[in-house]
Chain A
């Protein structure tokens, strides 16, 4: 399966790395992801039994019942990633005909229900503010303030990360960042009025304000190339752990379910509020390792952009949404808290591995022929 997302090439003058190419097959991580891969890489025949979809939801149920930790379950998170990938078009070899197949949607709903239930259970919820734009923005800034001087990952990157660790960091980030902003864009038609205008204002900037070379995903692709990495979407899918996929899957789930529009608004607010300062630290770590302004452009850009976005996301998006519909208040705060929790899990995996002197990837890159730079 070649995973391809068209990416703009501009940005860095560094020569493109040798294109060993994305892996032609993504490796299943258990029986469920194995079955889904098996299904989606072939054209639907119209015969569900032949296509192997009839029992997909039942198989998803089996996987969920056997799992003790959905967010860290490789088979389930890869399965979700593959199913959401049908909507993003991130899987170049997946057949378009599967996107709305009821059996695949049914399986996704089983996995989503279990994933959401875990998040509702495990994500610590702060006290709810009044449903006014000002109070919600203030509460979100308070909630995220523990993170705003940078979680330990950004401090590690700034002070200690080696060049190899920086590459691993980019590999982890690539799962979301090569499609940066896309999961939140699902929310645009699911909102109205002031929150919608706020989201569009943020997203327009994320997408480069009309300039493709300034799209954040394109800038990140340039950073990957500048670091000698393959910027093809999914090139490193096999190397990232379940919780890295869970971070993106959570956004996709919040964005694609209108009932969770409060959560996606809160998620974006928390994401933006924990971005400027960490990105300044990432830039420091990359410059410390000798990377130039071209490679650091992505991080530098986010220091400035997200200081704008966090203000808009806090008041005009999340805050105004709570004002317009106070019944969404709890989900707005939940989405923000879930962002901090899940991205915290994902960062912890990386930092813990590095502190132990180990790679933060699922498998070593060097021994995997044809992958990596």
Chain B
């Protein structure tokens, strides 16, 4: 996707307090083999607590386990 002045939409990653990494913008999300992981929405939340059942995406479980981000 091209943004202003024909440039790509630069990726932005927000480290949510005690929660996921919120990812906006152009970015390839792949498996270790380089297979693309389908991204069905523009902005995604990547799990960083390790317990999501839908990794690499966050499913909100970090709240249930009381995850504290380092």
- Given the known interface contacts A205-B43, A312-B43, the answer about A149 and B57 at a Cβ–Cβ threshold of 8 Å is no
Complex contact B60–A307 (CB within 8 A) = yes
- Given the known interface contacts A137-B17, A304-B54, A312-B22, the answer about A205 and B59 at a Cβ–Cβ threshold of 8 Å is no
Which residues on the B side are within 8 Å of A293 (C-beta)? none
Interface of chain A, main secondary structure: helix
Q: Which residue of B lies closest to A202 (CB)?
A: B43
For residues 33 through 66 of chain B, which have their beta carbon under 8 Å from a beta carbon of chain A? Answer: 40-45, 53-54, 57-61, 63-64
B41 to chain A, nearest CB (A): 5
The answer, yes or no, to whether A310 is at the interface (CB within 8 Å) is: yes
Q: Which residue of A lies closest to B52 (CB)?
A: A307
The answer, yes or no, to whether A128 is at the interface (CB within 8 Å) is: no
Interface range, A side = 20 to 34
Measured in the bound complex, the distance between the Cα atoms of B14 and A315 in whole Å is 11
Which residues on the A side are within 8 Å of B53 (C-beta)? 280
A288 to chain B, nearest CB (A): 16
Measured in the bound complex, the distance between the Cα atoms of B18 and A137 in whole Å is 11
Measured in the bound complex, the distance between the Cα atoms of B61 and A306 in whole Å is 12
Measured in the bound complex, the distance between the Cα atoms of B16 and A315 in whole Å is 9
Which residues on the B side are within 8 Å of A209 (C-beta)? 41-42
Digit string of A291-309 for contact with B (CB within 8 Å is 1, else 0)? 0000000000001111110
Which residues on the B side are within 8 Å of A307 (C-beta)? 20, 45, 57-60
Partner of B17, one of A134, A201, A204, A275: A134
The answer, yes or no, to whether A33 is at the interface (CB within 8 Å) is: no
Interface range, B side = 20 to 34
Which residues on the B side are within 8 Å of A145 (C-beta)? 63
Partner of B60, one of A134, A137, A310: A310
Complex contact B20–A311 (CB within 8 A) = yes
Measured in the bound complex, the distance between the Cα atoms of B44 and A201 in whole Å is 11
Which residues on the B side are within 8 Å of A308 (C-beta)? 22, 41, 43-45, 58
B45 to chain A, nearest CB (A): 4
Complex contact B43–A201 (CB within 8 A) = yes
Partner of A148, one of B22, B41, B58, B63: B63
The answer, yes or no, to whether A270 is at the interface (CB within 8 Å) is: no
Q: Which residue of B lies closest to A305 (CB)?
A: B41
Which residues on the B side are within 8 Å of A201 (C-beta)? 42-43
- Given the known interface contacts A205-B43, A280-B53, A304-B59, the answer about A138 and B64 at a Cβ–Cβ threshold of 8 Å is no
The answer, yes or no, to whether A174 is at the interface (CB within 8 Å) is: no
Partner of B16, one of A148, A276, A304, A311: A311
Which residues on the A side are within 8 Å of B19 (C-beta)? 311
- Given the known interface contacts A205-B42, A311-B19, the answer about A304 and B57 at a Cβ–Cβ threshold of 8 Å is yes
For residues 304 through 334 of chain A, which have their beta carbon under 8 Å from a beta carbon of chain B? Answer: 304-308, 310-312, 315
Measured in the bound complex, the distance between the Cα atoms of B45 and A204 in whole Å is 16
Complex contact B22–A311 (CB within 8 A) = yes
Which residues on the B side are within 8 Å of A312 (C-beta)? 22, 43
Q: Which residue of B lies closest to A201 (CB)?
A: B43
Digit string of A259-288 for contact with B (CB within 8 Å is 1, else 0)? 000000000000000011100100000000
> Which 10 pairs across A and B sit closest by C-beta, in order of nearness?
A276-B60, A307-B58, A307-B60, A308-B45, A148-B63, A311-B16, A303-B59, A307-B45, A277-B60, A304-B57
Query: Can you offer 28 A-B residue contacts whose CB atoms are under 8 A?
Result: A137-B17, A138-B17, A145-B63, A148-B63, A201-B43, A204-B42, A205-B41, A205-B42, A205-B43, A209-B41, A275-B60, A277-B59, A277-B60, A277-B61, A277-B63, A277-B64, A303-B54, A304-B45, A304-B54, A307-B57, A307-B58, A307-B59, A308-B41, A308-B45, A310-B60, A311-B20, A311-B45, A315-B16
Instruction: List 17 other contacts, CB 8 Å, given A145-B63, A209-B42, A280-B60.
Output: A137-B17, A148-B60, A205-B41, A205-B43, A275-B60, A276-B60, A277-B59, A277-B64, A280-B59, A303-B59, A304-B45, A304-B54, A304-B57, A311-B19, A311-B45, A312-B22, A315-B16
